[in-house]
Structure 1
Amino acid sequence: MPGMKEASILLLRAGIALLVLPIHILALVGLWQPFCRRVFFPFFFNRFSASYERKAKGQKQELFRNLPDFRSGSGDLKLLEIGTGFGANFQFYPPGCKVTCTDVNPSFQQNLLRSMAKNQHISYERFLLAPGEDLHQGGAFYFLEHVAAERSSWKHFWQQVWYPTWKLLFDGCCLTKETWKALEEANFSELHLQHTTVALPWTPTQPHIIGYAVK
Structure 2
Amino acid sequence: MCDLSPFFLKPFPKACRLKAFIIAKLNGLNIPADVDPNATITQEQYADLLIHAMDTKGTFPVIEMLILLTDEDQVSPTSMNSVQRIYLHGIAKLDEKQMAYPKREMSRGEAAVWLHNAIQFVETHTAQKPEPPVERGEVAVAVERVNDDVNKVTLTRQMPSPGYGFAITDNRFKDDGTAVIAYSVSEPKPGMLYPQVLTEAKAETYISSKYKPVAAQLR
The reply to whether TM is greater than 0.5 is no
**For the superposition of Structure 1 and Structure 2, which TM-score range results when normalised by the shorter chain?**
under 0.3
Q: TM-score, normalised by structure 2?
A: 0.21
Larger radius of gyration: 2
